[in-house]
Homo-oligomer: A and B are copies of this chain.
């Protein structure tokens, strides 16, 4: 029982699967770099930073956990847990909705605004680098 490398003269054209495997590889390495930079400079993971980013762009700098989860593609549970340390260090705080006692808004504090302003410069430059590195990945070769 031999594997395919041994019999074919050249690899077949890349399949959708090949593409996804390589995308995953590229993506994880890329994000690892952005995350590393952000962590070392500001002590924030890219996930933490993304929370600040969405709050910053939201109306009144606040969002319900559900909406944050939807924006980030995470479960609400993950959002609840990610917010805890950000609340603890004072970048985010919790506000309740007078109209609906179920909701707990995550709300960017002024410290959060300040850190975001700094960190977003770091993040922008790390993301530019990441995109440069990603250009090596042929997004245009999407299999039909």
A residues bordering B, Cβ < 8 Å?
1, 3-6, 15-17, 19-21, 23-25, 27-29, 31-32, 34, 46, 50, 53, 56-61, 71-74, 110, 113, 120, 123-124, 127-128, 130-131, 134-135, 139-140, 142-143
Contacts and interface: CB of A to CB of B under 8 A. Distances in A.
Nearest to A74: B28
Name the prevailing secondary structure of the A interface residues. Answer: helix
A17 to B, nearest CB: 5
Given A16-B131, A73-B29, A1 B124 contact: no
B73 A20 contact: no
- Copies of this chain, complex-wide, total 2
A20 B3 contact: no
B16 A56 contact: no
B5 A57 contact: yes
Contacts of A16: 124, 127-128, 130-131
The list of the 7 closest CB pairs from A to B, nearest first, reads A16-B127, A139-B139, A28-B73, A16-B128, A20-B127, A17-B124, A17-B127
A24 B131 contact: no
A135 B16 CA distance: 13
